[in-house]
Amino acid sequence: MRIKVPITGTVINIDSASGDPNDPIKLINIDLGNVSWELIELDLVNDLADIEVTPGEATDEATDSFDAEGKPIYRTRPTTQAERLQYLNDLKKVIDQHTKEELYEMSKSARLKKPFKG
């Protein structure tokens, strides 16, 4: 599934879409859930990253056991097809139900800084 997520950082050069090494261009600080993602395209005019997300093939779940320090012990198991679909639906819902400005506010991420109007 492809989604568009706001980006943050500082753009140095629009032609090569390069970012400041001290403030690189990246997705806002938002939990995407149990998915991996791959960048498809940066839209520096609209401050968005077009990404392809893939649901996680495994998940960790707590057992009823604890380690010697009292911390819960987790086990990893494969995700079901229904869980993978739910991960994608949950992410799409978060992105679709909020404006770009709301996502920036929720993530407490700064808007993308760039040396041009756009």
pLDDT of residue 15: 76
* Residue 25 · residue 15 · CB < 8 Å: no
Q: What is the pTM of this model?
A: 0.84
Q: Could you tell me which residues are beta bridge partners of residue 18?
A: 13
Residue 8 and residue 118: Cα distance in Å, rounded? 14
pLDDT of residue 118: 55
Place of tokens 């839209």: 43
pLDDT of residue 51: 98
pLDDT of residue 58: 97
Among candidate residues 102, 116, 118, 115, the one with its CA nearest the CA of residue 28: 102
How do the pLDDT tens digits run along the chain, 118 residues long? 999 999 999 998 877 778 899 999 999 999 999 999 999 999 998 999 999 999 999 999 999 999 999 999 999 999 999 999 999 999 999 999 999 999 999 999 999 998 876 5
Among candidate residues 81, 18, 77, 66, the one with its CA nearest the CA of residue 44: 18
pLDDT of residue 18: 82
CA atoms within 13 A on the CB side of 1: 20
Four-residue CA torsion sign, 107, 93, 4, 35 = positive
Cα 40 from chain centre:
13
